[in-house]
C-alpha cells in the first residue's frame, strides 16, 4: 500500500495536468482581436465563376474525389451539419434555424442574387465576409473571378512524377485506379501546353524539355508554390535516388512496358527531388499533402511526415521551402519535429473541419510552444455543391481556426508562458505574418 498510494497520487496529478491543459474557454477580448486580423489562407480550392450553360468548373483539383468509390464523410463535413446555418446567416442573411427544402431554395435564390450583383468580384466578396485578405488557390489552372490581387496560384506537379506506365499501381489499389488516369491526362496537358506530342526518349531530355519548362511556365503565370498530392498515389518516402538507375529505367520503359516497382519508385524519387530543387531555384515553395486523407483505400501511414525526413535533410534542397499541408494529422507531433528543419513549415488546413476548436487548439498549442514562426493558417475550402459551396467550408474552417487559436493562446497566457501582447503577436504570425515572410508577399 505504501508503494501504490504515491503512484496513484502521481497518476491523478498527471491526469489532472492533462485535463487542465486543454483550455475550454477563450479570452473574449483576445478572440475579438484575433477575429479582426486579415488572414492569408495557405491552402484552398476555390471555384472559378462559370456562365449559365457553361461546363462546371473541373479544375479545382488534379485528383477530384468523384473519380473514386464513395466513402463516409466525417461529421462536420456532412452537408446536413447545422453549423453551416451559421455560415448562411453570416454571409447571406439566412433567417431560418433549419435546412428544410423550402428554406434551402430561398437560400439558393439569395446566393444567385448576390452572385449576379457582385459579378466577377463575387469570390473576393466571399473572402471579405471571412476577413481573409489572400487565398492560395490549389488549381490545375486559374479562371474567371480568381484575380491575382486576392487569389494566388498553387499548381499541381504530381503528374510529372509518373511518366511511365502506371497499370501495376492501378491494379494494386481501387483508389489508385480512380486517381492515376487524372494524373496521366494532366501530364498530356502539360506536354500539349509545350507543343510536344510525345515524351522524350531520355530522362535528360524529359527534365530539360518537359519538367523545367513546365515549372518555369507556371512561375511566369504567377504561381507561388507547387503542390504534391502524392500521398493519394504512393507513400511519401521519397528516398535519395540512384540517378544512373533512374536514367536507365526511364529510357527502357518510356515507350512501353511495365517497369519493376522498385525501379519505378527510384525514378519517382529522383524526379521528386529534381522538381523540388527547381521549385526552390524559381522561388516557389513545395506544398505536400499530408493527412488522413479521403478515400476508402487511403493509407494514412503513407502520409506520416517522418517519411519525408530524408528529403528534408537533403543539403541540395535547403534552398527550397517545404510546407506540410494539413499539418500531417494525425501525426501532428511528428510534424513539429520536422519543423525543426530550417526550411520546413506546416499549415493546419483541413484540421479546421475535421476537428472542433478545442481539439484543434491542443495541436496548435504544441506547435506554438515549439516553432511558432513555422505555423500557417489554411482552410482547405472546397465545394459540396450550390448550398454548401467553397465559401461555406471556408467559413467553417475560418471560424474554427480563430477560435482554436484563441483557446491555445488563452491557455498559454493563463499558464504564464506568454503575455497578452505576445499572444496577439503570435496570432498575427499564424494568420498572416509567417506567410508574408515565407512567400515574400510584402515585396
The domains of the chain are located at 35-439
Cα 144 from Cα 121, distance rounded (Å): 9
Q: Give the pLDDT score at 21.
A: 53
Predicted confidence (pLDDT) per residue in 248-291, tens digit: 999 999 999 999 999 999 999 999 999 999 999 999 999 999 99
Please name the helix (run of DSSP H) or strand (run of DSSP E) that holds residue 188, with its range, or none: helix 174-193
Q: Give the pLDDT score at 22.
A: 60
Closest CA to 62 of 177, 155, 194: 155
Q: Give the pLDDT score at 442.
A: 79
Residue ranges in the chain modelled with pLDDT below 50: 1-20
Q: Give the pLDDT score at 293.
A: 85
Cα 409 from Cα 31, distance rounded (Å): 10
Three-state DSSP class for 62?
coil
Closest CA to 79 of 408, 383, 337: 383
Cell digits of residue 205: 531530355
* Strand positions, DSSP E, 85-222: 132-138, 151-156
**Nearby residues of 241 by Cβ (< 8 Å), 6 or more positions away:** 266, 267, 269, 270, 273
- DSSP character for 46? P
Cell digits of residue 54: 457553361
Strands of the 322-325 sheet, one edge to the other: 39-44, 132-138, 151-156, 223-228, 285-289, 322-325, 344-347, 375-376
Whole-prediction pTM: 0.93
As beta bridge partners, residue 225 has 154, 285
Cα 43 from Cα 318, distance rounded (Å): 23
Q: Give the pLDDT score at 443.
A: 64
Q: Give the pLDDT score at 435.
A: 98
Compute φ and ψ for 24, nearest 5 degrees. Answer: -110, -15
Architecture in CATH of 35-439? Alpha-Beta Barrel (3.20)
Sign of the CA dihedral 183, 187, 190, 192? negative
Amino acid at each position: 500500500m505504501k508503494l501504490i498510494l504515491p503512484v496513484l497520487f502521481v497518476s491523478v496529478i498527471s491526469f489532472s495536468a492533462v485535463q487542465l491543459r486543454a483550455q475550454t474557454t477563450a479570452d473574449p477580448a483576445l478572440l475579438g482581436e484575433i477575429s479582426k486580423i486579415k488572414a492569408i489562407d495557405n491552402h484552398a480550392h476555390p471555384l472559378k465563376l462559370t456562365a449559365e450553360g457553361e461546363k462546371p468548373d473541373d479544375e479545382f483539383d488534379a485528383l477530384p474525389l468523384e473519380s473514386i468509390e464513395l466513402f463516409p464523410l466525417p461529421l462536420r463535413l456532412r452537408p446536413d451539419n447545422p453549423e453551416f446555418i451559421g455560415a448562411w446567416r453570416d454571409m447571406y442573411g439566412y433567417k431560418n434555424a433549419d435546412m428544410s427544402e423550402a428554406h434551402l431554395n430561398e437560400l439558393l435564390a439569395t446566393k444567385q442574387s448576390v452572385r449576379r450583383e457582385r459579378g466577377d468580384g463575387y469570390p473576393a466578396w466571399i473572402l471579405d465576409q471571412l476577413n481573409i485578405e489572400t487565398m492560395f488557390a490549389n488549381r490545375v489552372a486559374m479562371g474567371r473571378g480568381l484575380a491575382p490581387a486576392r487569389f494566388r496560384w498553387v499548381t499541381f506537379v504530381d503528374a510529372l512524377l509518373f511518366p511511365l506506365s502506371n497499370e501495376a499501381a492501378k491494379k494494386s489499389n481501387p483508389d489508385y485506379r480512380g486517381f492515376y488516369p487524372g494524373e496521366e491526362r494532366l501530364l498530356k496537358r502539360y506536354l500539349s501546353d509545350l507543343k510536344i506530342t510525345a515524351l522524350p526518349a531520355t530522362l535528360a531530355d524529359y527534365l530539360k524539355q518537359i519538367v523545367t519548362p513546365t515549372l518555369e511556365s507556371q512561375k511566369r503565370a504567377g504561381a507561388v508554390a507547387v503542390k504534391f498530392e502524392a500521398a493519394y498515389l504512393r507513400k511519401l518516402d521519397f528516398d535519395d535516388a540512384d540517378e544512373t538507375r533512374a536514367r536507365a529505367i526511364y529510357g527502357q520503359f518510356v515507350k512501353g512496358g511495365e517497369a519493376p516497382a522498385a525501379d519505378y519508385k527510384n525514378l519517382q524519387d529522383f524526379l521528386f527531388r529534381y522538381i523540388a530543387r527547381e521549385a526552390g531555384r524559381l522561388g516557389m515553395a513545395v506544398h505536400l499533402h499530408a493527412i488522413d486523407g479521403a478515400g476508402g483505400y487511403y493509407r494514412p501511414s503513407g502520409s506520416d511526415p517522418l517519411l519525408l525526413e530524408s528529403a528534408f535533410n537533403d543539403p541540395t534542397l535547403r534552398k527550397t521551402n517545404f510546407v506540410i499541408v494539413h499539418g500531417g494529422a494525425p501525426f501532428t507531433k511528428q510534424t513539429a519535429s520536422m519543423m525543426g528543419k530550417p526550411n520546413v513549415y506546416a499549415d493546419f488546413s483541413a484540421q479546421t473541419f475535421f476537428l472542433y476548436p478545442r481539439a484543434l487548439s491542443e495541436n496548435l498549442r504544441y506547435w506554438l510552444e515549439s516553432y511558432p514562426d513555422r505555423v500557417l493558417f489554411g482552410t482547405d475550402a472546397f465545394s459540396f455543391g450550390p448550398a454548401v459551396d467553397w465559401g461555406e467550408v471556408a467559413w467553417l474552417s475560418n471560424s474554427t481556426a480563430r477560435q482554436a487559436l484563441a483557446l491555445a493562446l488563452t491557455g498559454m497566457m493563463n499558464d504564464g508562458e506568454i503575455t497578452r501582447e505576445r499572444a496577439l503577436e503570435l496570432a498575427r504570425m499564424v494568420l498572416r505574418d509567417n506567410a508574408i515572410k515565407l512567400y515574400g508577399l510584402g515585396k
